[in-house]
């Protein structure tokens, strides 16, 4: 499972351009910071009032005062800034985040996302997702393709929405899908899977790109 998450993080990291201001959601998306392509330098922003995050610290070198929005220990660049959450959300709502990578419980073919609540269950909650999905210039969902065999990529979300028609791209261990007006366009397929397998694991019809290529991690 850990290897699959690393695969997803490595591929999602390739969507960043040098100089981007970016935000990473809790869980799997935080792994992206450790897998940025060589030569790509980004400014990571966190909802808890922090720009200049870098990767996870070495074991034993954690600083209790330096965490991401999910409470995980991180390190920081020399140019890092710390400030209030109101300023942090002003960055997001003001459209200054070039891209965000988030997890999700469900995404559908229209680009709708549900990632904040499962009725009747305790989950992490909304966090900054509601603001990020409408404030960031590009929204990428990075997640495992299914949950214990159940579809997470659907024709219509069944869980309460976080936002409508905001997702641009989905990256899973099986492939890469872009949200289009006609549905989900499969642009990359990991060599471990066949077209039949990824379609069976998806709860909506995938459009196969005529330029479909293998999903690369490096």
CB neighbourhood size of 201 (10 A): 19
Residue range 2-214, CATH number = 3.40.1080.10
Tens digits of per-residue pLDDT, 47-74?
A: 999 999 888 899 999 999 999 888 889 9
Each residue's pLDDT tens digit, 147-190: 999 999 999 999 999 999 999 999 999 999 999 999 999 999 99
> Which pTM was predicted?
0.93
Query: 12 with 100: CB under 8 angstroms?
Result: no
Mention every residue, 6+ apart, whose C-beta is less than 8 A from residue 90: none
Q: What is the mean pLDDT of residues 14-26?
A: 94
- The catalytic position among 15, 38, 47, 217 is 47
Strand 146-147 relative to strand 175-180: parallel, antiparallel, unpaired? Answer: unpaired
Burial of residue 121, with CB atoms counted within 10 A of its CB: 0-12 exposed, 13-18 middle, 19 or more buried? exposed
What the block records as the tokens of 124 is: 């992490």
Give residue limits of the domains in the chain. 2-214
Binned at pLDDT 50, 70 and 90, residue 125 comes out as low
Q: Report whether 150 contacts 105 (CB < 8 A).
A: no
The most confident of the ranges 40-54, 125-139, 178-192 is 178-192
Active site residue 178: no
SS3 95: coil
């Amino acid at each position: 499972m850990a290897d699959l998450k690393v695969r997803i993080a490595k591929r999602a990291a390739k969507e960043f351009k040098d100089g981007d201001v970016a935000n990473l959601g809790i869980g799997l998306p935080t792994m992206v910071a450790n897998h940025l392509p060589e030569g790509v330098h980004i400014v990571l922003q966190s909802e808890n009032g922090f720009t200049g995050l870098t990767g996870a610290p070495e074991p034993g070198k954690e600083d209790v005062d330096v965490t991401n929005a999910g409470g995980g220990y991180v390190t920081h660049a020399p140019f890092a800034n710390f400030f209030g959450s109101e300023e942090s959300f002003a960055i997001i709502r003001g459209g200054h985040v070039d891209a965000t990578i988030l997890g999700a419980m469900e995404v559908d073919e229209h680009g709708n996302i549900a990632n904040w609540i499962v009725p009747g269950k305790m989950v992490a909650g909304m966090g900054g997702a509601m603001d990020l999905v409408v404030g960031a210039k590009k929204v990428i969902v990075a997640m495992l393709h299914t949950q214990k065999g159940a579809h997470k990529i659907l024709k219509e979300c069944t869980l309460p929405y976080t936002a409508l028609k905001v997702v641009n791209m989905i990256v899973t261990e099986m492939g890469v899908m872009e949200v289009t007006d006609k549905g989900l366009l499969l642009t990359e397929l990991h060599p471990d899977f066949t077209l039949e397998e990824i379609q069976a694991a998806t709860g909506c019809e995938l459009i196969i790109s005529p330029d479909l290529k293998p999903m690369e991690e490096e």
